[in-house]
Amino acid sequence: MATYVLIHGAGDVGWYWHLVAAELERSGHNVIAPDMPVDDESATLGDYATSVIDAIGQRTDLIVVGQSFGGFTAPIVASRTDTKLIVLVAAMVPTPGESGMGLFQNPGYEPEPQEDSSDIAVFYHDVPSDLAVEALSKGRNQAGTGFNEPWPLDAWPNIQTRAIVGTNDRVFPVSWLRQLTLDRIGVAADEIDTGHCVALAKPVELASRFEAYRTELGIA
C-alpha cells in the first residue's frame, strides 16, 4: 500500500482530486489531498509545502503528485519526505529562482487565442458541466506572495519523476509544456486526451496512469 499525496494548483482546493482519490482508495492506497493556504497573502511556497507535509505526518513510500502550479510545491514536499516518485500533471516545471509568474514569461509560452476566455471554456471545457460548476464554486483567489516568490530549491530533487500533459490543454499548450518538461528535467511527458483539469475530466484514466508508474517502479 502506497500513500498518494495529491497537490492542487493555484486558487484551488484539495477537492479537485476527489474522483482520482476515490479510484486510488478503491485500490487500497492512502490518499492525502490537503487544502494549501494559497489564498493567504502571508503564505510562502515553504508554507504551502509545510501544510502538505503536516498532513503527511509519519507516512512513508510516498507518491507526490503536483497539478498545474502544484508543480512548484511538489518537489519541495518530495525533497523533505520519504518520496519514491514525483508525478507532474499539466504542471509547471520551475527552475531555481524562477517564480510562477516568471514561468509564464518564458519566451516560448504562447497560448492559443480563445474566442471564449471564460474559466469554463479555458479550464473546464471537457469537464462534465455539473463538476465544472462545482469546481468554480470552490475556487479561491490565488495570493500573489506564493505566485511571485522565487522557487527555493537549488535543483530538481534526485527522485524518479514522471509527467502527464493534456493534449487539449488551453492553459499550457501541449507542445510547449512537453518541451519545457523535457528541457528542464529530462522527462518525456505522457499524454492524455483532455484539457488542463485532467483529474476532473479523466479521473479513472489518470488514476490508472499513477498505478502503472507505481507498479513499474515497484513502489509498495
Q: For the chain, what percent of residues have pLDDT higher than 70?
A: 100
Residue spans of the domains in the chain: they are 3-217
- Average of per-residue pLDDT across 168-193: 96
pLDDT of the residue at 107: 66
Q: What tens digit of pLDDT does each residue of 28-81 get?
A: 999 999 999 999 999 999 999 999 999 999 999 999 999 999 999 999 999 999
> Secondary structure of the chain: what % helix, strand, coil (to 5)?
40, 15, 45
| Angle between helix 203-217 and helix 18-26 axes, rounded to 10 deg | 50
Mean pLDDT along residues 122-136: 97
Q: Look up the CATH number of domain 3-217.
A: 3.40.50.1820
DSSP one-letter code for 16: G
Q: What's the pLDDT band for 144 if we cut at 50, 70, 90?
A: very high
Query: Is the distance from CB of 60 to CB of 30 less than 8 angstroms?
Result: no
**Each residue's pLDDT tens digit, 9-27:** 999 999 999 999 999 999 9
**Mean pLDDT over each residue of the chain, to the nearest integer:** 96
Q: Is the pTM of this model over 0.95?
A: yes
